Amino acid sequence: MRLKVPEGSKGVLVKNLYLVIGVPKKNQERASILKRTMAKGEEVRNKQIILRDYVSGFPKESDMALKTSTMRLKVPEGSKGVLVKNLYLSCDPYMQSRMRKPDGASSLIDSFTPGSAIIGYGVAKVLDSGHPDFKEGDLIWGMTGWEEYSLIPATETLFKIHYTDVPLSYYTGILGMPGVTAYVGFYEICSPKKGEYVFISAASGAVGQLVGQFAKLIGCYVVGSAGTNEKVDLLKNKFGFDEAFYYKEENNFDAALKRYFPEGIDIYFENVGGKMLDAVLLNMRLHGRIAVCGMISQYNLDQMEGVHNLISLISKRIRMKGFTVFDYYHLYPKFLDFVWQYIKEGKIVYMEDKAEGLESGPTALIGLYTGSNVGKQVVVVADV
Ligand SMILES: NC(=O)c1ccc[n+]([C@@H]2O[C@H](COP(=O)([O-])OP(=O)(O)OC[C@H]3O[C@@H](n4cnc5c(N)ncnc54)[C@H](OP(=O)(O)O)[C@@H]3O)[C@@H](O)[C@H]2O)c1
């Protein structure tokens, strides 16, 4: 297109910003032409965030790049996949492991393909479907691409969204993968009881803020650690933790834990690993439980720090169990009923950190490893 009104024309040349769904009557014909064109499989621009090459050590923004390609808005003939417009993308700590060269043994999930859009959890709207369970207009959450439009060939990782009177971005957090993680990690792995002493690291994040609120709901004493004073304030004044501390200011984690847990810790919800885990092991009570959810302090190290105090597991009869949310998605309907009720009653709140635009994705993702996110880190790609 030449960006110039033709000589003698009384028209205007515009750059379209938004197309309205509820169009005024006189524009309905134009909108329906547009819709028919899309239904025929119009080819559109598709901005993507790609991985340039495999990463070792801490990922950097420059390991990713913005690329513009094209996409036909139609599921290929015979495919059982869905074609979606991505609305929200989720930044999750495990994604760094997918940036690494596949090493076979230790990887839980496949590496990204250099040159292709990175993959992650997201919320999207179905534009075309080859699968009988999904139809145009459905809202879904699950694994999608870091791009404007994605063809998702296998629908097994997708969940249909039925409750829409909450921010749809919640399906990247409290109503999505981090929510299920907090729920199974706390209720299934920790077997909590009223009155127990609970400690949560990375406590203000996507998972931690929920674990703390779940623990308060059943009457536990709850302490969290976080990486800024602002986060500490949120833990105490927004999420209802009994206490919280700024771990970067503590030069002795053992002493800090003794200050907050003079009688010891019954449940540790482990998100960070390293020195914090070692200090916790010294402060666990008899028959304590440790849910090993994540160890973000170790993810990007070439050489992981060792853990020195594991011997406490024996003398204190501690149960320490690692888990991955992928094994628990069959509990999603039960979890959704449980958490939905509390959201509606205002008994659980959720804090998100929204980065605007697909282009902001790399910075937002990298920020997880320095703690720049305050709450669940989401990337806003488009309006419904
Ligand atoms: N097992 C599973 O299936 C599963 C599922 C989801 C998540 N996870 C794990 O759960 C943990 C929390 O995930 P999330 O999604 O809730 O992330 P998040 O807490 O929202 O974000 C990551 C946070 O980790 C903290 N952090 C970063 N580098 C750190 C370091 N070197 N030492 C200590 N803290 C550091 C930062 O908070 P501060 O500013 O407070 O330091 C940062 O904000 C992660 O370890 C993740 O891998 C596991």
- What is the tens place of the pLDDT at every residue in 236-264? 999 999 999 999 999 999 999 999 999 99
- Whether 24 is covered by a domain: the verdict is no
Q: Is residue 264 part of a domain?
A: yes
If pLDDT is split at 50, 70 and 90, which confidence band does 103 have? confident
- CA dihedral defined by 360, 366, 368, 370, rounded to 10 degrees? -120
Would you state the pLDDT for residue 141? Answer: 98
- Residue 33 is predicted with a pLDDT of 41
Regarding whether 168 and 183 lie in a shared domain, the answer is no
Paired sense of beta strands 243-246 and 221-226, if any:
parallel
In the block, which residue shows the tokens 């439980």?
A: 289
Specify the amino acid at residue 245: F
Domain count along the chain: 2
Residue bearing the CA closest to ligand 1, atom 24: 202
User: How many angstroms separate the alpha carbon of residue 207 from the centre of ligand 1?
Assistant: 8
C-alpha–C-alpha distance, residues 379 and 358, integer Å:
7
Does residue 205 line the site of ligand 1, with CB under 6 A? yes
Check residues 3 and 275 and name the one with the higher pLDDT. 275
Does residue 26 or residue 303 have the better pLDDT?
A: 303
Regarding whether 315 and 364 lie in a shared domain, the answer is no
**What pLDDT digit, counting tens, does each position of 342-351 carry?**
999 999 999 9
* pLDDT (average), residues 50-67: 96
Q: With contact defined as beta carbons under 8 Å apart, do 202 and 296 qualify?
A: yes
Residue 320 belongs to a domain: yes
> Looking at the structure, do residues 104 and 199 belong to the same domain, yes or no?
no
Q: With respect to residue 372, please indicate whether it lies within any of the assigned structural domains.
A: yes
Spatial CB neighbours of 117, under 8 Å, sequence gap ≥ 6: 48, 49, 50, 145, 146, 147, 150
Task: Note whether 168 and 194 are same-domain residues.
Answer: no
Domain residue limits at 157: 42-173+351-380
**Overall average pLDDT of the 334-339 stretch:** 98
* Res 77 pLDDT > 90: yes
Residue 183: phi and psi, rounded to 5, are -65, -50
Q: Nearest 5°: phi and psi at 245?
A: -140, 155
- Determine what percent of the chain is predicted with pLDDT higher than 90: 86
- State how far Cα 233 lies from the chain centre: 22
Q: Inform me whether the pLDDT recorded for 31 exceeds 60.
A: no
Does ligand 1 come within 6 angstroms of the Cβ of 342?
no
In a domain, 229, yes or no: yes
DSSP state of 199: E
**Cβ of 234 below 6 Å from ligand 1:** no
**CA-nearest residue, atom 38 of ligand 1:** 227
Separation of CA 91 and ligand 1 centre (Å): 11
Shared domain check, 203 and 162 = no
Q: Which amino acid is at 73?
A: L
Return the exposure string of 252-271: e unless at least 16 CB atoms fall within 10 Å of the residue's CB, then b.
Answer: ebbebbeebbeebbbbbbbb
Q: How many angstroms separate the CA atoms of 250 and 326, rounded?
A: 34
Beta strands 319-322 and 159-160 are: unpaired
Q: At what angle do helices 229-237 and 208-217 cross, to 10 degrees?
A: 30
From the CA of 344, how far away is ligand 1's center (Å)?
Answer: 27
Q: Which pair of tokens denotes residue 58? A: 């801490």
Q: What is the mean pLDDT of the chain?
A: 91
Ligand 1 neighbourhood includes 202 CB (under 6 angstroms): yes
Does 69 map to a domain?
A: yes
Q: Name the pLDDT band for 21 (thresholds 50, 70, 90).
A: very low
Say how far apart CA 43 and CA 45 lie, in whole Å.
7
46 lines ligand 1 (CB under 6 A): no
Q: Which atom of ligand 1 is nearest to the CA of 376?
A: 20
CA dist., res. 17 & res. 265, Å (int): 54
Low-confidence winner among 20-24, 36-40, 306-310, 316-320 (lowest mean pLDDT): 20-24
Distance 308 CA to ligand 1 centre (A): 22
Between CA 179 and CA 319 the distance in angstroms is 23
Q: Do 190 and 321 have their domain in common?
A: yes
- Label residue 41 left, alpha or beta by phi (over 0 means left) and psi (-120 to 50 means alpha): left
308 shares its domain with 240: yes
CATH number at residue 142: 3.90.180.10
Residue 45 pLDDT > 70, yes or no? yes
Task: Say what the pLDDT of residue 10 is.
Answer: 53
DSSP state of 316: T
Overall pTM surpassing 0.85 (yes/no): yes
Average pLDDT over residues 133-162: 97
Asked if 160 and 218 sit in the same domain, the reply is no
Q: Are 180 and 328 in contact (CB under 8 A)?
A: yes
For a mutational test of ligand 1's pocket, the pick from 96, 207, 213, 326, i.e. the residue with the most ligand atoms closer than 8 A to its C-beta, is 207
CB-based contact 373:81 (threshold 8 Å)? no
**Residue 23 clears pLDDT 60, i.e. is over it:** no
The pLDDT value recorded for residue 7 is 63
Tell whether ligand 1 has an atom less than 6 A from the beta carbon of residue 273.
Answer: no
184 lines ligand 1 (CB under 6 A): no
List pLDDT tens digits, range 289-335. Answer: 999 999 999 999 999 998 999 999 999 999 999 999 999 999 999 99
The answer on 301 and 168 residing in a single domain is no
Same domain, 151 and 165: yes
Q: Looking at the domain assignment, is residue 16 inside a domain?
A: no
CATH label of the domain that carries residue 270:
3.40.50.720
265: pLDDT strictly greater than 50: yes
Task: For ligand 1, say whether the CB of 232 is within 6 Å of any of its atoms.
Answer: no
CA distance 50 to 45: 15
Residue 376 has pLDDT above 70, yes or no: yes
Which run of H or E residues covers position 34?
helix 28-39
Confidence of residue 108 (pLDDT cuts 50, 70, 90): confident
Percentage of the chain exceeding pLDDT 70: 89
Task: Kindly state whether residues 301 and 190 are assigned to the same domain.
Answer: yes
Is 364:67 a contact under the CB 8 Å cutoff?
A: no
Nearest to 241 by CA among 178, 196, 198, 189: 198
- Residue 8: per-residue pLDDT: 61
Per-residue pLDDT averaged across 40-53, rounded? 92
The reply to whether 249 and 314 lie within a common domain is: yes
Residue 150 within any structural domain of the chain:
yes
